[in-house]
Amino acid sequence: MDLAPAPNGESSLKNPVVEVEAVDMASAEVEESLATENTVAIEAEGSQSEYETDSDDSDWDDQSLFEDALQVIRDDQLRDGVVPGACTLDEAIAFRNRLHEIGKAAFVEETIARDTVTAKKLCTAFGIMPPGFLEGAPDQAYHPLLAIAISREFSRRPKLPQYNSIDDAVKLLQQSKNIVVLTGAGISTSLGIPDFRSKDTGLYSQLEHLGLSDPQEVFDIHVFREDPSVFFSIAKDILPTENKYSPTHGFIRLLQDKGKLLTNYTQNIDNIEANAGVVSEKIVQCHGSFATATCVKCQHKVQGDDIFGDIKKGVVPQCLSCQERIAQDALKPQGMKRKRSTNGTHRGRKSDGEDSSEDEDYEIPTPGVMKPDITFFGEDLPDEFGRRLLHHDRDLVDLVIVIGTSLKVAPVAEVPGILPRQVPQIYISRTPVSHTSFDIDLLGDCDVVVSELCRRAGWEFKHEMIPPDEKVDITAVEGYESRHMFKVVGA
């Protein structure tokens, strides 16, 4: 799926939901695209709207497109000098700090324009390994790549150096009063609901039988409109079957009960937050949910439970309201029936004197499909998402906790960069992310991490999935002062 940056003056928060994809850096088409689009990014600053901050969020999509395709250089590799021709770690840190201090245009003028450092070497300061296909090329050939590196670094929220340890994370929990929690599929996997991107167990890895060119097309609104059976063939696999919730959902409820939860922005469509007792006033379901469904023809809305039976059978649920209207229409005399268009609306009757063959023209109408009120790729996010984030939470938030998401779907993935940079941020998931900087990374099973944090905070936190005598081993990740690994002892 192609992504496009938001035009100047428009918020990317208003864009349809999109999946961030990698592309082939070696292709000539990409090189040409980079040369035309990204050179501009390093030469001038764009204008900002109220939806954009100094993090330059409008560039996020372009940067993230290449996130998986680029070969990344880690800071420990720069520190150990294992990459020939690369910056030292001290040089890299100095370049990064300078970029944030003076901005992109001035930084390019100070470095590339004055020939104080080559573009090839400068790429390494921002964690990008110069690709082999550019080896031997003139330094100007590295400019498009450097444009991506600079934009990505400039949009990256700088880590707050005063927050690093587990104790720091616990104190932040104890002291904060307005916590924004951003959650993804990882907080529901312990309930048997698959995430989407895990290599062997994720939902996308199991969809080859559908014959899609890209597995994420199962959530594409255009594919749904053409053939809703594609979505409903897998919908039962992501539908919550029991009224349960995970310890991580319980943790969010605990924050609410302690008066600390400002908002839970959830990308999940399973509506399990409601099972945990998180009130609707505290939740923004960024991608909608299965809680309700709407007919694509007549817009009749029902509770999600009403169509769960069909979904569990893999059947396309049809609108009962449409069926009732069709049944009533069938009782009318044939000449009183009106021809229906393919979208279910009545066509106009023919005027008097026109040759009419109502009996022949009449088409048997079909009921509309009940579409769960989830946000498909290509559909806009609910207005409440941007409105609450920008005009309420951004002024109040004092701690951000991101749990169980790889931050690969825009525009929700932009949330950490949109919130004020001085607000501390904690990341909890099995694996770290590289395109966003958090102050503290707590890696491991989400349920284990949050329960251990509660124990250390002195909070009573009970859940049937967390053994009362559970002991957790926490180790620092080598080369990272603020990255910690959680593992249950004996597991």
Residues designated catalytic = 287
298 annotated ligand binder:
yes
Q: Are 20 and 61 in contact (CB under 8 A)?
A: yes
Backbone CA torsion sign across 401, 403, 408, 410:
negative
Find residue 488's DSSP bridge partners: 472
User: CA-to-CA distance for 169 and 154, rounded, in angstroms?
Assistant: 26
User: CA-to-CA distance for 433 and 427, rounded, in angstroms?
Assistant: 9
Strands 179-183 and 399-403, bridge-based pairing = parallel
DSSP type of residue 46 = P
3-class state of residue 350 by DSSP? coil
Nearby residues of 279 by Cβ (< 8 Å), 6 or more positions away:
256
Name the strand (E) or helix (H) holding 264: strand 261-266
Find residue 181's DSSP bridge partners: 264, 401
User: CA-to-CA distance for 120 and 128, rounded, in angstroms?
Assistant: 9
For the chain, give the longest Cα–Cα distance: 90
User: CA-to-CA distance for 410 and 417, rounded, in angstroms?
Assistant: 12
Q: Which residue has the tokens 């002024």?
A: 395
User: CA-to-CA distance for 439 and 431, rounded, in angstroms?
Assistant: 15
Q: Where are the beta strands (DSSP E) in 118-249?
A: 179-183
Residues in the chain: 491
DSSP type of residue 275 = H
295 annotated ligand binder:
yes
User: CA-to-CA distance for 93 and 127, rounded, in angstroms?
Assistant: 11
Query: Listing from the earlier edge strand, what are the strands of the sheet with 179-183?
Result: 283-285, 261-266, 179-183, 399-403, 425-429, 440-443, 483-488, 472-476
Q: Are 74 and 136 in contact (CB under 8 A)?
A: no
454 annotated ligand binder:
no
3-class state of residue 160 by DSSP? coil
**Which residues fall in the annotated binding site for Zn(2+)?**
295, 298, 319, 322
**Which residues fall in the annotated binding site?**
295, 298, 319, 322
